[in-house]
Chains A and B, each alone.
Chain A
Amino acid sequence: MRYRIPADVAWQESPPEHHRRELYICRLPDGRPIVLADSACDIWLLAAMGEDVVATLTSQLDIPADTIAADVASFLTSALALGILEEAAPPDPELGAST
């Protein structure tokens, strides 16, 4: 499954003076900002870019997929429920073939 950022979501990374890496995500116009820290930032960003999160992380970190798959799935389920990610339509094979 692929994901994308919903049309009503604003987000930003922690400011330069902040000592900890965090992501702040907010559903507009008046949702309470959600804070992601550490590896959750990577998972959200990869998912938001439409990447296969587990495949990308296991490749980059050189670890077996089953060590992170359950945690990633749990995070993505929560992110969908909170509305800070949404499912992306699968790529159109005909469109892909024609380009």
Chain B
Amino acid sequence: MTERDVPLSVRVEFAHAALQWLADAHGIDVLHIKGPALAPVLSEDLDDEGGVPSNRRASTDADVLVRPRQVEAFMKILSEHGWTAMASFESGSVFEHAAALEHTWFGHCDVHRNFPGIGLDPETAFDVLWADRSTVELAAWPCTVPSITAQRVVLLLHAGRTVGGQPQDVRRAWREASPTDQEQTQLLVTRLKAEIGLAAALGHLDDYADSPEADLWRLASQPETLRLAEWQARIKASKSPREALRLAFKALFVNVDHLTMKLGHPPTRRDMAAAYARRFATALRELPRLVGRRR
């Protein structure tokens, strides 16, 4: 019995199992999404001989969606079991939807408190997904997953905000789906108020040109997202003047979590000063392009 290196895909499955163990032990509702938690029809291609998976989905982390009102408690539990925060919800992405954590043995996980593109109130949306949950075994451990239809929605919404659009995911989740499956997916999208995200995934974002959210989706999938444009879109899509003000203020600051990950150590005052200088230089450089975009 040894303690040799464990392959990444194995560590990811152990991460899923560990998260489920902790959730069960503390009465927390979690749904495992993406990666190995996906149904085979959404994660594998058959080879020419038929039947044998030849393109099993590789995943570098474990993703879970947590019942929103239990997120704070779950984050505390994770911190007591060796999970260290790498990025907070606020600094994780433009959508502020997930926190990234790291564990010595299991690698990385993303804890989602909502899923970008779902417009329904997060708690209600979780109830909708939870109602049709099922179970898959990851590392021989029963883990709770959303229905296959909900998995299609999650994949499509993720593709809609990803550079390159995840064409493999869109193909499996939508283009190769039967008319019935597409209809079920569309119904769930409507119920979750996720129409714009689906439009982004399928390349129909122009149908929502007047929506304040459309710019955010368009920018999220751009290979070279403009710093100022990203924040501008985020502010435009904010739900209240108070949130808009908070975002505008935050846009000026360096993301310490990202800088720590980039440097491999907590930034020094000199690192922070250099990052601020780069941020303002970038903002000034992008300003003329932004003005052009607004015409």
> A residues within 8 Å of B by Cβ?
8, 10-12, 14-16, 18, 24, 26, 28-37, 40, 75, 78-79, 82
Task: Known A26-B139, A35-B1; judge A8-B7 contact (CB<8 A).
Answer: no
In Å, the complex CA distance between A11 and B104 comes to 18
Give the distance to chain B from A91, nearest Cβ to Cβ, in Å. Answer: 23
Residues of chain A lying within 8 A (CB to CB) of residue B10: 12, 14-15, 24, 33
**Contact among A14, A35, A78 with B3 in the assembled complex (CB-CB below 8 Å):** A35
Q: Contacts of A31 on B, CB cut-off 8 Å? A: 105
Q: CB-CB contacts of B1-18 with A at 8 A, as 1s and 0s?
A: 111101101110110011
Besides A28-B21, A35-B3, 19 other A-B contacts (C-beta < 8 A): A11-B139, A12-B139, A14-B10, A15-B9, A15-B10, A24-B10, A26-B105, A26-B139, A28-B17, A28-B18, A30-B103, A31-B105, A32-B105, A33-B6, A33-B14, A33-B105, A34-B3, A35-B2, A40-B1
Pair A12/B21 contact, Cβ less than 8 Å: no
Q: Are A29 and B13 in contact (CB under 8 A)?
A: no
A12 nearest CB across to chain B (Å):
5
Please name the residue on chain B nearest to A34 by beta carbon. B1
B: which residues have CB within 8 A of A?
A: 1-4, 6-7, 9-11, 13-14, 17-18, 21-22, 25, 53, 56, 81-82, 103-105, 139-141
Distance in angstroms from B43 CB to nearest chain A CB is: 14
Contact flag A14-B7 (CB < 8 Å), given A36-B1, A40-B1? yes
Q: Are A30 and B139 in contact (CB under 8 A)?
A: no
Contact indicator B11/A8 (Cβ below 8 Å): no
Q: In the complex, what residues of A have CB within 8 A of residue B6's CB?
A: 24, 33, 35
- Among residues of B, the one whose C-beta sits closest to the C-beta of A78 is B1
Most chain-B CB neighbours within 10 Å: which of A29, A35, A79?
Answer: A29
A83 to chain B, nearest CB (A): 12
* C-alpha gap A33/B18 in the complex (Å): 11
Report the bound CA distance from A75 to B17 in whole Å. 26
CB-based nearest B residue for A15? B9
B1:A29 contact, CB within 8 angstroms: no
**CB pair A12 B140 closer than 8 Å:** yes
Which residues from B are CB-within-8-Å of A36? 1
Taking CB as reference atom, which chain B residue is nearest A33? Answer: B6
In the assembled complex, the CB of A50 is this many whole angstroms from the nearest CB of chain B, namely: 16
How far, in Å, is B19 (CB) from chain A's closest CB?
Answer: 8
Q: How far is the CA of A30 from the CA of B104 in the complex (A)?
A: 9
Max count, chain B CB within 10 A of own CB: residue among A12, A16, A75, A82: A12
- CB–CB A10/B141 < 8 A: yes
Once A18-B7, A28-B17, A33-B10 are accepted as A-B contacts, the answer to whether A82 and B105 lie under 8 Å apart by CB is: no
Docked complex Cα distance between A26 and B107 (Å): 14
Asked if A15 contacts B7 (CB within 8 A), the reply is yes
Closest to A9 in B: B140
CA distance A75 to B3 in the complex (A): 15
Contact B3 A29 (CB under 8 A): no
Q: Are A29 and B81 in contact (CB under 8 A)?
A: yes
B19 nearest CB neighbor, chain A only:
A29
Pair B1/A10 contact, Cβ less than 8 Å: no
Inter-chain CA distance A82–B1, complex, in Å, is: 10
